[in-house]
Amino acid sequence: MDYAMCIPKSAIKISHQYKILAGIRIHVENKLSHTCIYTQIHWWILMADFWCTNSIFDKLEIIWCRNDAGLAAAELALAVEKHVLESGSIDTVGTVGILELHPGAINSIPSKAHIEIDTRDIDEERRNNVVEKIHQSAIRITETRGVKLSEFSIINQDPPALSSEAVIKAMETATRELNLTSKLMISRAYHDSLFMARVSPMGMIFIPCYKGYSHKPEEFASIQDMSNGVKVLALTLAKLSLE
């Protein structure tokens, strides 16, 4: 259920999100506060399934006689990287985070392979172009490797959400008044604010974390950076409350 859509727009005047920011570029730039102009970019999750009927689950099968669904999926993963790089934009990203093989034995030639691909971009047309190239690569791989593409589909997709100009202005003003530095940026992650933007003006404040680490034990943000972020948030909310 999309809970954001269950909230009447009249019930919320503004939504704000405060995040420790993952990303090595932010760590290097060492800005004390970051104002987000997008909460998320055009996002698609794709799924592809390869299978073959004549795979022999035997490590002794002659290598040039094999129809390997696992290698087909691996080749598609490399194609994702290739097409993303060819886009020429740092805002185009593609990630293969799931690759499942069947039967999953060390000495068995995979007869089935399931791969899931995350593609993101701030430009919808460019993103769609990359997705189409990935699809064409999947078709070509079936021909060269003698496997079948049983499914190529979109699991999920969400449009981007823009931060409110009024909220951005308030955040930037608060940052300056606190004698902190900031920059406008795009967030490529999936945040609650994506959905809150559907019911209210929205904005996000990010602070740096060590080496951009996120969702791992090494993740760390200094007390000073966290304190600065909270101060920016508090002053921003105070300013917006007067409007």
Q: What angle do CA 55, 66, 53 make, to 5 degrees?
A: 25
pTM flag (> 0.85):
no
Shared domain for 192 and 229, answered yes or no, is yes
Longest Cα–Cα distance in the chain: 75
pLDDT of residue 124: 83
| Structural domains of the chain, count | 2
Q: Nearest to residue 17, comparing CAs of 163, 180, 222, 124? A: 163
Residue 99: is it exposed, middle or buried by C-beta count within 10 angstroms (0-12/13-18/19+)?
middle
Q: 131: Cβ–Cβ under 8 A, 6 or more apart, which residues?
A: 44, 46, 119
Q: Nearest to residue 14, comparing CAs of 239, 170, 167? A: 167
pLDDT in tens, the chain (243 residues): 344 445 455 545 555 555 555 444 444 444 444 444 444 556 777 888 888 865 555 556 677 778 899 999 999 999 999 999 999 998 899 999 999 999 888 888 899 999 999 998 888 889 899 999 999 999 999 999 999 999 999 888 877 778 888 988 998 999 999 998 888 887 777 777 777 888 888 888 888 888 878 778 998 888 998 898 889 899 999 999 987
CATH of the domain at 26: 3.40.630.10
Shared domain for 168 and 151, answered yes or no, is no
Domain boundary among 158, 186, 217: 158
pLDDT of residue 61: 66
Domain boundary among 125, 158, 191: 158
Shared domain for 134 and 63, answered yes or no, is yes
Contact 189, 95 (CB under 8 A): no
Give me the torsion for CA of 228, 232, 234, 237, rounded to 10°. Answer: -170
Pairing of strands 15-21, 202-208: parallel
Shared domain for 165 and 231, answered yes or no, is yes
CATH of the domain at 104: 3.30.70.360
Shared domain for 174 and 91, answered yes or no, is no
Domain that holds residue 16: 3-41+160-241
Domain boundary among 133, 158, 183: 158
